[in-house]
Amino acid sequence: MNRRARTALAASLVLAFTAGPLATPALAATPPTATHTEAHTESRTESRTEARTEARTEGPDVAALEEALRGLPDGFATGAEIRVGGKGSWHGSAGVRDLRSGRKVLENARFRAGSTTKVVTAAVVLQLVAEGRLDLDGTVQTYLPGLLGKAFEPVTVRQLLNYTSGLQGGRTLGDTVDEEFPHRFETLPPEEVVATGVAKGPRHAPGAEQHYGNIHYLVLAMLIEKVTGDTYEHQAETRVFKPAGMRHTSFPEGADPRIKGPHNRGYEDMDGKLVDVTEWNMSDRKAAGDMISTTADMERLLFALFRGELVPEPQLAEMFTVPDVPGATKSAGLERFEINGKAVWGKTGARPGYHTVIAATRDLSRTVVYSVMATDAKGSGLSLGQRFAFPAFNR
């Protein structure tokens, strides 16, 4: 979105608070609500002064995080929640729950987690590998005979996990949010997405290139269901959500377009106007992006996963191994970033009205999870990450 459009959008936000019976002009920009918890100390005899010093030197950059939240809602987002953990913890929120009333943003609200769902899917697959029910070098042709045509060379489970399978994306309900919006309550079965992608033939030989896409993880969901005889959603719940303590994370029931439970409304900029996109049938994303969660639950996922409580070694190593392919940055469910000289592993997710990031250093000395009610959730991901996630790794 260009600067002129952003200016117009910011103006529309102000108008949203000055029109209608529930408008409250004073809420045009809400001050951030923040809580800073001092870093844990190793010795119980340390003084509180020493603890505060440790928090200042090793804890998160609170000033930068508060600055990221200041001024919401603005031309980029109507609200945001951020949680930072590791050596010292902090969480904050700002913005509004919905534009009509201008009520303060809900903390620990449910949101569409988008492609961070892939982290859960990868964990389930790697658990099945650890149990001997799947083999990373086993092929789709063996597990799902007939799915791939003769044009495909053997595609392995590992190549699905790290996006090097060569599969092309299948049918969608539009290439942009504007195109998808009129079809938001329609159902596009994931099986149809896979079938139409397979019909295109391979993009490249398996293992030769890395191309990110949902289709890899839709096929992984089919593998999970085939070898377990159970639904993907139930396997995710029993293998990941419950062990990690993710009590407020779930998948919609079928094509249900609602976010059940307390949540903040999501809006997208369409032709300079903010349109409510909260209700949306995302069932075509399934294991690639249909999860609903909270920032606290996603933080629990990071800690349980990185500590090896969900996926045992050596399978966990797959999540921190980028394939030896030119330009590759993604592993099994995660992506490697370099932020302020630190190696950070994480995943982004974007669905209309909601942008999500989960990220951490491998040793969990710093973690960050955010949910931003972004008005251009897919298009402005990098700038949102630089604003809301990068400050967590300042020190």
Q: Residue 59's pLDDT is what?
A: 80
Interatomic CA distance for residues 310 and 303, integer angstroms: 10
pLDDT one-digit tens code per residue, 285-316: 999 999 999 999 999 999 999 999 999 999 99
Q: Does 371 qualify as catalytic in the annotation?
A: no
3-state secondary structure (DSSP) of residue 338:
strand
DSSP letters for 106-160: PTT-BEE-GGGHHHHHHHHHHHHHHTTSS-TT-BHHHHSTTSS-TTPPP-BHHHH
Catalytic pick from 93, 115, 283, 371?
115
Q: Residue 381's pLDDT is what?
A: 84
Q: Which residues contact 168 (CB under 8 A, 6 or more apart)?
A: 197, 200, 201, 202, 203, 213, 215
pLDDT one-digit tens code per residue, 53-100: 344 557 889 999 999 999 999 999 999 999 999 999 999 999 999 999
Residue 104's alpha-carbon distances to 34, 75, 93, 95, 375, in angstroms, are 13, 17, 9, 6, 17
Q: Residue 195's pLDDT is what?
A: 98
Q: Residue 29's pLDDT is what?
A: 63
Q: Residue 57's pLDDT is what?
A: 58
Domains of the chain (ranges; CATH) run: 3-393 (3.40.710.10)
Residue 198's alpha-carbon distances to 121, 169, 170, 237, 308, in angstroms, are 21, 8, 7, 29, 34
Question: What is the pairing mode between strands 267-270 and 273-276?
Answer: antiparallel
DSSP H/E element including 192: helix 190-198
Residues in the chain where the model's pLDDT stays below 50: 1-27, 36-55
Interatomic CA distance for residues 217 and 289, integer angstroms: 9
Q: What share of the chain is helix, strand, coil (3-state, %, to 5)?
A: 35, 20, 45
